[in-house]
Amino acid sequence: MAEKQILTGSDIIVKVLAEQGVETIFGYSGGAILPTYDAVFQYNEIHKDNPIPLIVPANEQGAGFMASGYARATGKPGIVLVTSGPGATNTVTPVRDAMADSIPMIVICGQVNRSSIGSDAFQEAPITSVMGSVAKHVFLVTKEEKLAATLRAAFEISTSGRPGPVVVDVPKDVQTASIEFEINSTLNINAYRDRLKTIENNRLSDQQCESFYNYLRASNRPLIYSGGGTIAAEASKELRSFSDRFQIPVTTTLMGIGAVDTQSQLSLQMLGMHGTAFANYAVEDCDFIIAMGSRFDDRVAALPKQFAPKAKAVAHFDIDASEIDKVKQTDWSHVGLLKTALNDLMAYADKNNIKDVFSDWANEIQELKSTYPLDYDRTSDLIQPQMVLDEINHLTKGNAIVSTGVGQHQMWSAQYFDFKEPRQWLTSGSMGTMGFGLPAAIGAQFAHPDKLVIDVDGDGSIRMNLGDLETVTTYDLPIKILLLNNAGDGMVKQWQKLYYGGRLSASDKTLYKKDFVLSAQSDGFEYAERLTDKTQIQKTIKEFIGCKKAAFLEVIIDPDAMVFPMVGPGMSYSQMITGEHIKSRNEDPEVEPIDPKAMF
């Protein structure tokens, strides 16, 4: 018989969080969650040597993105604790963002008393309905005796298989109820566990390994295309070993950055819409695509049939069976744990003395990288954003944790920063959520208090969660915030210039009056500077990065700077625009009118 004790529901919530190894909670209080906030306070009073800090942002969306930043930087689930109604609905965007990028997160929100549900009570919202379409799973706790088991199930579902956010809606009277606490109680989610177990136990057979290596042997230019799934699977070490063994180059998606050291000779960095020219040319040239934890999304394969047009075969590794053949038809596929699959392939190669090395192709890759490198206007009197990021990268040497907002600054950061390890690059990929960068950096700094964390933001993105500048100084976090200010929504302006006749509808902010440096100073930043002189970049960046406390640097950049290369919407890599400063092996194609049906 399981050991039992009588606790309030709120105490049980905190007890299960502690049991699950939670180190930090992000959230904002309110009436329907007050019992649990009080329980956290009392828990921390008792456990002063090992408390669970409760971090309060400017709003609940910030809490969600902080939890996401924490999760992305650690692989552990980020924890959000918010009240009912608007508190819960303010987390919808972070929940959808986490779901789209496969990020583990637990959102515990208060709810009105069970007797009031459905009565339009004060601060009531139908959270199970609202969140059901955007979360991995949603629980409404209606039986107090199942509270602990439900929370444990939430952690299990969030972190297993393809990770994602789980929402637990807890009525206030469940939080205040006296409940028999069962230490080992669990929910019956056996159907889910059985499906997952089938996937986890799905090992590569010798026949499957032989088939894979037959495709590899038949190729001369194999290319690994790795996504965020590789990082979620904790399979970066195995990917690197496999790539090194056979000298197969690796290109990554935006979410896959860091799966291989970007400074490695076999790294092609990012592919796709704003990927490096050499990565996209390698995709054009390769004859065998090996996709790992990636999904051929529209930013990589806008025209699936024309993606890797010379590839004689496509292999696909994923933990989610629904991704196989969803976009690109495969010749070989495996649904299972990537780490295990790569180890099985390596063991098969050892056993069968497979020693194929694609050194000629690796040399071709070096030629592509040296012939078509990233570049920008180095002669302009205006500050080019790439120059600023290049200087920071020179100082950080691939060791910094970098978060971003969404837009041009995000793409420049993906192009010009190096990352030695996974979980150093934190960005909103699939959802492309502006306002992500600053709170995500806060979450990452709590996860790694001794590491350098940099938020690269744009003036449009940072406005969305500007209130969290105060959160940085409130908790004395040494985050470095770099604001690349081009007086507008840069990526929107870029599209408007290329495809909409230069009509800057609602994207030009040259008349806006925000003084970001004064904002930072008002929120307690002792280092808050503005850089406008190109000749002062090196000196200023050194001071900025070297600051021991929180630092804010606004850089006024060339408002007409664009992100290149660029593969336009609905276009193939052969139509890639490289701009004036990146060499193209084809004549730059004309900028074609945008298809109204094309996605942004």
Would you name the residues annotated as active-site residues? 60, 122-123, 172, 491
Q: Going by C-beta distance under 8 Å and a sequence separation of 6 or more, which residues neighbour residue 17?
A: 25, 52, 79, 151
Residue pair 154/190 in contact by the 8 Å Cβ criterion:
no
The answer to whether the peptide bond before residue 565 is cis (omega within 30 degrees of 0) is yes
Distance CA 236, CA 292 (A): 11
Distance CA 314, CA 336 (A): 17
Hey, which residues does 171 pair with through a beta bridge?
111
Residue pair 439/403 in contact by the 8 Å Cβ criterion:
no
Residue pair 499/593 in contact by the 8 Å Cβ criterion:
yes
Nearest partner of 426 among 449, 412, 405, judged by Cα: 405
Hey, which residues does 316 pair with through a beta bridge?
291, 333
Q: Going by C-beta distance under 8 Å and a sequence separation of 6 or more, which residues neighbour residue 78?
A: 26, 66, 67, 68, 69, 70, 71, 98, 103, 104, 105, 106, 443
Structure tokens at 246: 């056979």
At residue 456's C-alpha, the angle toward residues 522 and 478, to 5°, is 55
Distance CA 109, CA 548 (A): 36
> CA of 373: how far to CAs of 63, 120, 277, 317, in Å?
39, 59, 7, 30
